Chain A
């Protein structure tokens, strides 16, 4: 399986994209709608015109039409051929390769078995459920043994439980086949679960490429940070284990308890909506609870952002309008700040 390299890719949507995808890697292209994710995948497949160069294993494939590039492409809408049954859909790419009939049939059988859709072989797409269509489309894309697999929001049309299940399955399959894969999504959680590395794309620009936790804990700029939900990220001054999977970290004078077992914690992150604010001292143990001062209030359509100073750290909390209106918050007021224990994410020291 080849590595993929994009060199100075330019097009009316993509602006000078340079990206190297390793052999056997699953790279997630992450970005909001309209960022150019699908366009970039189409460029790799050869379905769109572009300037610059696409290299598979160091060899430029720019002159090759899509039919000769050896890519398996799972389209967002799946696009199973409605006039062919499941087996014929899967066979479509094999029949173009002029293989002997027995070989084609053996391959189809193997794929039907691998995707666990053997019982669907003679059904037509209109009689398949969303998850079944998904499997058939994937089997069809994999059938001609492509060198590269391109998955464009493959799970976006499915309900949540099916999605979760298929995600795991897809990842296992990708690892077993060892096929270089580009996976497009706009869902951060999906990206973190699937990716070996994430490439954040915005307005046709590659903003950041890195391991999921690198992108999350070290967003390179505000655009990336905003896209991943603008979490509060705090550097830890010290860290010590309290045993039983709990650690105590110190961040700018705040002593924070985090659920974590393993290496020492370097950074922690918490989303603004996971920080609670109370005017009165809340009952219960004083864990992850601090006194803070409101420095400013920012109202947007969905919620109110509250900037706070707690210890030496600046935090941003967010709450819905109806809760904000029940409280009496103003800049300069002293409040209690509670960090939801289970919502704190940690970045551990790798060494």
Chain B
């Protein structure tokens, strides 16, 4: 598992793809050179945007929103998920409600939240919160509930209290499930923030994307998409790595 995380040969196909891209654009194989800049031009623009701070500022704005919204959402999701997974009564009470909210796509909340919260920093954070809260909660609750009850019986006969069993047996054994939720939603948070910024919020990578579109700056659009792709990947890989670190020894 750890080995798979190293880039290694994964670089080669990407390099070949970039080379073909460069070649096709340079040789004018596609009519309308203006709409298809070569990779080198995109890299130049990336450098240019980074140097004058536009990319940095917008990226930072998006990053802060994702970090705050995602941490708050997943911490809340894990906490409620643990309670729901551990106490059957809470599960019975909350499950029907959550089942109703879960299928609503995070962006579906946008119009409602725009009216409730207004257009300010809290809006994207709230969207990310909702986007990560429900799936993380779902995975956590499922993870806790699917811990073999016999392990809990063993811990009981060894003198452990309920709280101790939760902390030392149920949660550790549910970690793989919890991480599945975190990993999926870490990437999803980036997809959602871009969409939210494109529609409603004037700063961030998504907003930059929309501005580039109105100025027909294809190179900037591609720069934004590259940043988005790299961030989605980086966040997912981070949690994949953390999961491997925490559970590979025993799984």
Contact = CB atoms under 8 A, between A and B. Distances in A.
Interface of A: 45, 47, 65-69, 71-73, 75, 77, 79, 81-85, 92-93, 96-97, 124-126, 140-141, 143-144
Q: Which of B154, B168, B249 has the most CB of A within 10 A?
A: B154
Contacts, number: 66
Given A73-B157, A96-B159, A96-B160, 17 more contacts: A69-B157, A72-B157, A73-B154, A75-B150, A77-B150, A79-B148, A79-B154, A81-B173, A82-B173, A83-B173, A85-B249, A92-B155, A96-B164, A97-B159, A124-B249, A126-B250, A143-B158
Given A83-B250, A96-B164, A125-B250, A66 B153 contact: yes
Contacts of A81: 151, 154, 169, 173
Nearest to A70: B159
A49 to B, nearest CB: 14
A65 B159 CA distance: 9
Interface of B: 148, 150-151, 153-161, 164, 168-169, 172-173, 175, 247, 249-251
Contact of B159 (A83, A84, A85, A144): A144
Contacts of A82: 173, 250-251
B6 to A, nearest CB: 24
B246 to A, nearest CB: 9
Which of B155, B158, B173, B175 has most A Cβ within 10 Å?
A: B158
A126 B250 CA distance: 7
| Nearest 9 CB-CB pairings of A with B | A93-B158, A73-B157, A96-B159, A66-B156, A83-B172, A124-B250, A67-B159, A83-B250, A96-B160
Contacts of B251: 82, 126
6 contacts: A47-B153, A67-B159, A72-B157, A73-B154, A82-B173, A96-B160
B173 to A, nearest CB: 6
Given A81-B169, A83-B173, A144 B158 contact: yes
B155 A65 contact: no
B157 A92 contact: no
Given A83-B250, A124-B249, A140 B150 contact: no
Contacts of B148: 79
A83 B247 contact: yes
Nearest to B153: A47
B164 to A, nearest CB: 6
A75 B158 contact: no
A198 B156 CA distance: 28
A126 B249 CA distance: 9
Query: Which of A66, A69, A141 has most B Cβ within 10 Å?
Result: A66
Contact of B150 (A69, A79, A96): A79
Given A79-B154, A81-B169, A92-B168, A67 B160 contact: yes
Contacts of B173: 81-83
Contacts of B158: 67, 92-93, 96, 140-141, 143-144
A218 to B, nearest CB: 36
A47 B154 CA distance: 10
B157 A67 contact: yes
Contacts of B160: 67, 92-93, 96
Contact of B156 (A47, A77, A85, A140): A47
A71 B250 CA distance: 28
Nearest to B169: A81
A68 B153 CA distance: 13
B118 to A, nearest CB: 46
A65 to B, nearest CB: 7
A81 B165 CA distance: 11
Contacts of B155: 92
A72 B158 CA distance: 7
Nearest to A73: B157
Contacts of A140: 158
A87 to B, nearest CB: 13
Contacts of A65: 156
B250 A79 contact: no
A123 to B, nearest CB: 10
Contacts of A125: 250
Contacts of B159: 67-68, 93, 96-97, 144
Nearest to A80: B154
A67 B161 contact: yes
A75 B156 contact: no
A292 B165 CA distance: 67
Contacts of A143: 158
